[in-house]
Structure 1
Amino acid sequence: MSKQFPGRFILAADITLTSPMNIAAAEKGRYVFDGGRPRIVRYDGGPSSPGLQCTLTRTHRVMVDVGVSESDDGDRAAGQTGVDLPVIPASSITGKLRNLAAGLVFESFKERGLQITTDVFNMMTTGSATNDINASDATAQIVMLARKDAFLSNFGGTSFMLSSNAVISTGWPLVQLTRGMLMSPELLPTEALPDLKWTRQMTSALAIVRKDTVREMRSPYLTEVIAMDDLVSFAQAKAAEAESTKASKAAQRAAKAAGEFVEADKKRDLRTLSSIETVNTGMSFALRVRVNAATPAQLGLMVLAFQRMLQEGQIGGKVSRGLGQFICNASRIIEVDPRTNRPLDNGSPLFLSRDEGYEVAGISDDQSSALVQAVMAGKDYLHEVAPKTLQAYSDAVTDYLKKLYEEEQEAA
């Protein structure tokens, strides 16, 4: 690997789910039984497709050449057809890395006894401060100063709407179909990639039941911490509510049978049953981040945030239910030719195994590599970054930032 900066690098990690994963799509489908087999009608057919409504997982459609085959919706097609593949959206990965990098900065501020405003916190975690956008005030000096800041150069944003110098790819599933679609080659052996083409092969429906613990007397502590009068009143109220709901539904059925329009009742019962589509345990995904590193600290901060993501080992929604857990099977850092944007080689190890805490490879014995230099520079940045500079980018204090740029130029 080159030891010179600026440089362009790809951080690559192939992960495998150890629990189902859910990243909800805007669309809903229906979980139905077709010939006794459960399946998901991915685009909700309404009353014509009876079943439990299901929140779908996020997918991207790719066009592939096929013979004669069947699509996810059951249509037969010849030649080229669209295939919906479950993905980890680039926006989800970007948001996670941004928040983890911001968390590293916040930890440094806490250790140094420094504080920030809510505007700076919002700017760092979401990209936008609560102040007005001042993109027209982003002069050359301000942009050049931001490019020297490891956090701002990686993630952009601020009141000046700065662009990011990092490119974060969609997390594509590692199947035979996606070979050649990734920002860098897959790290897992080719023969380990399954030959799956349809979303229904990679996902399942997961039922979620929310229960009314008090109503069902499910806890032994209820009679000890709640007065008996309250429990009796609660039970009586719920019983009356159930009778009312039963009578209301009977009236609705009668009205519908008579051809009348009936507006559905709002759900009031705490006990509910819902279903979500989840990506199956054992599916593997490719995480790829390209860092156009102007400084070693910029690459180092992204490596540290990427490391935190692997150490956290969870991505997607409903993480409190245990969804989205993963392990990293392999990771590499790959230098990229800035002229052709193609990898120069197969790269070098990036992180050690999970059992070793995903420590940065070579951090203890190879102090000369670009990776180790970058990580050390990233840690130095965390100990030096100043709230006042971030505040100026949040509040668009152009005079202060221009002066700071000029001072840095004179010092150089």
Structure 2
Amino acid sequence: MASTQYSLDRKDIYKDLGVLGLDYGPHFQRLRRIQTNDFRDIYGINEWDGNFVTYLDAMLQSIAFTIPFRKIMIPMMIRAIRVDPRVFFENVHRNRNVEQKHIEAMDVEQSFAANVAPVIGGEAVDPALVMKMDAKTLNDVKQIYGEEMTKKRERFSVFSADMPFHFNAKSKRLVAHGIEVEDVIGFPIPRRTDGTDLVLDTYQFFPNEDLEAVDPIDKRVANEYIEVCKAMAAKIKQIGYKDIKCDFNYQNISDDVIQEYRTTNNENHVLFRIFDKILTEVVDENKNSKNSKEVMKVLKDIESGAEYDLNKDLINQIQKNEHMIRTMVDIVCENFVSIKEMKVTEINLSSGVLAKEVDHIMSLFRIIPYDVDYKLVVKSKQHCIDM
């Protein structure tokens, strides 16, 4: 590497990538240096810090410097990744940064101060966790904590190491100690040609995990709404409708909360409005159930009223959450990039057709143009009027 003509250090690497539009955070800025003579063979030093994801991502970042034009390029297809853990971790230990050991010791000190000291020093949030100790015992605990943290670092190789790697643009092969990435193919991210109605887009990594797909704020709102509806269902059962199954635990919801939901009148609170209509119109002023004829009239109004369409309810709208749809669509699109036609069949017996949402998300992946043959299996054509 000493004889190469061109060399970039970490600061220059991420400044150049930032100009292209690739803004990497501190944890992903792992490339220490890259060097080359012809920009077809890239030699580099990649910093290992205990995280394999950021380490491998940084290796792939180096491919951007072999592209003969100035566009945002990201790796889209990889034929194979081979990892030999034994060879890899042997070289991690061999290339360990000795000068970083004092920083690792400081990290242990900071970890102890943040996680242990408040508990044994009387400053814990929960007073029950506080343990008063004298100075000698405190030092002993600190020493044991440091030893355990050191063992953990050594066992899982959580330390800094400078790892060399090489990428050849002709063979599209990325090689490092214990790692081989074969046929790395990058594609440019298309830019919008239409300059009107511009919006500020942000891109974040979301794992394909259904339990984490819904935003925490949306999840809290949905959980609260479900609890209110459960309480309303229990109230209906209490006024005499014994056939209603309420085999679930529910919270007692105050009248103030129910009144707040009535006042808000959110169009997505369909189930709440149904329960509220039943509670207010099928009982008299003495809270006794009205006769069956009046009850049937209320139920028919609910059945025929457009404002009581359960497909518009908040609970059913969760399925249209982008993160939940992308969990499936992303996997399909990423593994069938090279095909010219994508066939999609949606079987949906509700009025909440997902075709628009799915097509929009698929359009974001059309790096190589392809046709979409989208088939809908629905209960009624009325559900597809706006398709």
State the TM-score, normalizing by the size of structure 1: 0.20
Q: Comparing both structures, which one devotes a greater share of its residues to strand?
A: 1
Q: Which has the higher contact order (CA 8 A, sep 6+)?
A: 1
Task: Give the greater-gyration-radius structure (CA).
Answer: 2
